[in-house]
Amino acid sequence: MSAHAFHPTVLREYDVRGIIDETLGADDARALGKAFGTKAVATGGKKIVVGYDGRVSSPALRDALVDGLRSTGVDVTDIGLGATPMTYYAMFELDADGCIMITGSHNPPNYNGFKMMMHKKPVFGEAIQELGAVAKAGDYATGKGGYEQVDVFDRYIDRLMKDFEGASFTVAWDPSNGSAGPAVAALAKRLPGKHYVINEEVDGTFPNHHADPTVEKNLEQLKALVREKGCDMGIAFDGDGDRIGAVDSEGRVVWGDQLLAILAGQLLKELPGAPIIADVKASQALYDRIAELGGQPVMWKTGHSLIKSKMVELSSPLAGEMSGHIFFKHKFYGHDDALYAAVRLLNAVADQGGSLKALKDGLPAAINTPELRFDCDDFRKFEVIKEVQKRLEAAGADMSTVDGVRVKTADGWWLLRASNTQAVLVARCEASSEAGLDRLKAELVAALTASGVEPPADL
């Protein structure tokens, strides 16, 4: 019944994440298992699914986590190595009471962490802090839970194919040596057309490039393959398969908000007037496009758990983030599955003329910065946002404070928010002209400088 204190930086807003052997280790995994199991037992939960990604540290964390869970009396179903969405899928498919995925997501190889669901809902915010409190008190449930290993891989691929509408394309795929590699390769084999898969071997050191498809330099291999093979498109995944990236036949990046606009183009034909959610980093062009298609655009906080909860609240069939998390409740379970999103993207492109390039060309060409991420101490980053917001309020700025500050001006908008997963501030600007973009950047620089933050070189 030993009490355990987590490092103050690892209990994040929507998952648990830290640096192996610095802020996170096997003792933390065991304590998390005990705390999670205690909460599960208290709310009538008995069966918990566990999966893990391809990081070098993941098997040891899995062993400790399972040990902690079973010590509270819950039964563990271990589905082994795979993508995060496969773990979510297993929870629904096997009708479990919760799941924990061991993954460092898109972070560097020395990171790892845990994404959790309880009673089919994401565990985030206050619920994560409560797990920390249970561990600190050391007041755990006790019992002797069972353990079984279940292979859901083939069922998962079958489920991905279930909603595929038969379109034939030539596609390049890059799972980035992440844990989705085998599933991406299996899916590509089942699809009609021609398919080329690179970096499908699971390698927790990510030898070919960093496993984050929202950073353009990580898509260079994919772009080269698209050009070399004359592909209709290229599709990339992050380290655990819950985020999608895409390029068109010319190798141009189709960003997360543009993908959501294309997916909405098909979905709103079937569900006119539906609410479609996007995070605060998305382009104004996306919100305008959803409205133009007859949908109801909703701007919400960044973060997979926060978006999932908002979807339930609004009965939204589709949501997405700039970071490439795409969530389908329409025909699916409402969680972020990049492989499923890829299948739906193939459907949507076929439904709207058959060319991803043409669909990208048809979207308004706003002038914007990429997502700018710059270091800021984990404790200081939220204070900076409060200071900036206070000064903007005093100046009477037109802004949204749904998540950080998103300021609207005659030129366009700029955003500043604190990341919930890393010690960074995140910024973005979008304008209708280069001169307007320069003015927005200058405003953002002034806001940062006034709080003593060194603006990134990109600004």
pLDDT 10s digits, 220-273: 999 999 999 999 999 999 999 999 999 999 999 999 999 999 999 999 999 999
DSSP string of 113-132? Answer: EEEEEETTEE--THHHHHHH
Rounded (to 5) percent helix, strand, coil in the chain: 40, 25, 40
Question: 144 pLDDT band (50/70/90 cuts)?
Answer: very high
Which residues of the chain does CATH 3.40.120.10 include?
A: 16-151, 155-361
**pLDDT score recorded for residue 456:** 87
What's the CA gap between 156 and 166, in Å, rounded? 18
- Under 8 Å between Cβ of 98 and 40: yes
Through-space distance between the first and last CA atoms of the chain, rounded to whole angstroms = 51
**pLDDT score recorded for residue 242:** 96
| CATH code assigned to 16-151 | 3.40.120.10
Tell me how crowded residue 154 is: count the other CB atoms within 10 A of its CB. Answer: 9
Residue whose C-alpha is closest to residue 236's, from 88, 114, 341: 341
Supply angle C-alpha 312, 318, 319, rounded to 5: 85
Nearest 5°: phi and psi at 30? -65, -45
**pLDDT score recorded for residue 1:** 57
**155-361, superfamily in CATH?**
Alpha-D-Glucose-1,6-Bisphosphate, subunit A, domain 3 (3.40.120.10)
What's the CA gap between 12 and 375, in Å, rounded? 17
Strands annotated E in 283-394: 296-300, 318-320, 326-328, 367-368, 372-375
Strand 98-102 and strand 75-81: pairing?
A: unpaired
**pLDDT score recorded for residue 364:** 86
Residue whose C-alpha is closest to residue 342's, from 191, 222, 117, 194: 191
The answer to pTM > 0.85 is yes
Task: Give the active site residue among 57, 105, 179, 305.
Answer: 105
What's the CA gap between 209 and 263, in Å, rounded? 28
Q: Which two tokens stand for residue 71?
A: 């010590």
Supply angle C-alpha 417, 311, 354, rounded to 5: 90
- Identity of residue 214: T
Q: What percent of the chain has pLDDT over 90?
A: 92
Question: 378 pLDDT band (50/70/90 cuts)?
Answer: confident
The tens digit of pLDDT for each residue in 392-434 reads 999 999 999 999 999 999 999 999 999 877 789 999 999 999 9
- Under 8 Å between Cβ of 275 and 349: no
Question: 106 pLDDT band (50/70/90 cuts)?
Answer: confident
- Under 8 Å between Cβ of 444 and 405: no
Mean pLDDT of the chain: 96
Strands annotated E in 42-110: 47-52, 75-81, 98-102
What sign has the CA pseudo-torsion 413, 414, 417, 421? positive
| CATH code assigned to 367-450 | 3.30.310.50
Strands annotated E in 45-97: 47-52, 75-81
Nearest 5°: phi and psi at 40? -60, -50
**pLDDT score recorded for residue 365:** 81
Establish how many alpha carbons lie within 13 A of residue 253's alpha carbon, considering only the half-sphere containing its beta carbon: 19
What's the CA gap between 321 and 235, in Å, rounded? 16
Q: Is 451 noted as a catalytic residue in this protein?
A: no
What's the CA gap between 253 and 248, in Å, rounded? 7
Q: Which two tokens stand for residue 411?
A: 């030129």
Answer yes or no: is pLDDT of 107 > 70.
yes
What's the CA gap between 435 and 384, in Å, rounded? 27
